[in-house]
Structure 1
């Protein structure tokens, strides 16, 4: 497995147009705008897959997240990245994410385009150990309780706020 900091990413402008490529480590260090996907995965009962990121992650190590996902590789489409990331992180095959909304996330010198998806999965999962330190399927109410007490990734919080606007409880 290659070093995640060496993974090549497309660098994009404020209109999500590719203006170059750079290794992920450089993208993060220089605060270059790039692309990410977020997939909210729920089961038939409406429970949401929630996890805590491993402490080795380059961004927000040890934080909780209600999305699976990650960076879009250089030359990769958002849609193919959504499938790849969901299948890798959940350890499944055949997931079909549905696109919802795209937005530009900016915070403290960081920025990336976020393409938000939702997907349903009712089978077993085998989360990727290098990405996921803990996981559970939580009801929206259980997730709300965790949001009040645990640290969640900031981009995931923004994506979840937008998701709730699209899919009110």
Structure 2
């Protein structure tokens, strides 16, 4: 499905569904939608941080969250987390040690969307989808923030999510 055909739930300031909108129109008109993000964390306190492929329409070649994606029309956050983790990392969430670590509103945080953030505990690097990511590293939160501060291109919400979730 192309981004132009991808339908999302449009939500109000309270994260209640009030309609539907295409992904393209949601971002063009800056309308509130829902997303999920997740970080893989290892026993050394490092985050698994991938680089998006050059072919990505938004944020090409940028550092990214371990998992991220839109909550599709009629879908809930948990279902989107499970779907995106399987699509991007070939990991079955039901077989993993995970937890929800943040519930965030764009109206209270300045982030790009309503989001739920999850953490997956593992010491193994995933077999990522090469259509999504080109390379990845295990980095401490401080190392990641230093790379972004030094000019490493990153997805717009990445630094703020790391600051909020791994202070």
Q: So what's the TM-score if we normalise by structure 1?
A: 0.84
Match of 1:57 in 2: 56
The answer to whether the Cα contact below 8 Å between 1:83 and 1:97 also exists between their aligned partners in 2 is no
Match of 1:84 in 2: 83
Deviation, structure 1 residue 96:
4.7
What is the CA–CA distance in structure 2 between the aligned matches of 1:121 and 1:153, rounded to whole Å?
Answer: 23
Distance 1:28 1:144, change over 3 A: closer
What is the CA–CA distance in structure 1 between the aligned matches of 2:97 and 2:9, rounded to whole Å?
Answer: 24
RMSD across aligned C-alpha pairs, in angstroms? 2.2
Summarize the alignment of residues 4-83 of structure 1 with structure 2, pairs less than 5 Å apart.
4-83=3-82
What is the CA–CA distance in structure 1 between the aligned matches of 2:88 and 2:3, rounded to whole Å?
Answer: 15
- Which one has a larger percent strand, Structure 1 or Structure 2? 1
Distance 1:96 1:57, change over 3 A: farther
Deviation, structure 1 residue 141:
4.2
Q: Which runs of 5+ in 1 are unaligned?
A: none
The answer to whether the Cα contact below 8 Å between 1:37 and 1:116 also exists between their aligned partners in 2 is yes
Q: So what's the TM-score if we normalise by structure 2?
A: 0.84
Match of 2:153 in 1: 151
Distance 1:5 1:49, change over 3 A: farther
The answer to whether the Cα contact below 8 Å between 1:32 and 1:110 also exists between their aligned partners in 2 is no
Distance 1:28 1:42, change over 3 A: same
What is the CA–CA distance in structure 1 between the aligned matches of 2:58 and 2:143, rounded to whole Å?
Answer: 25
> Per the alignment, in what secondary structure is the counterpart of residue 16 of structure 1?
coil
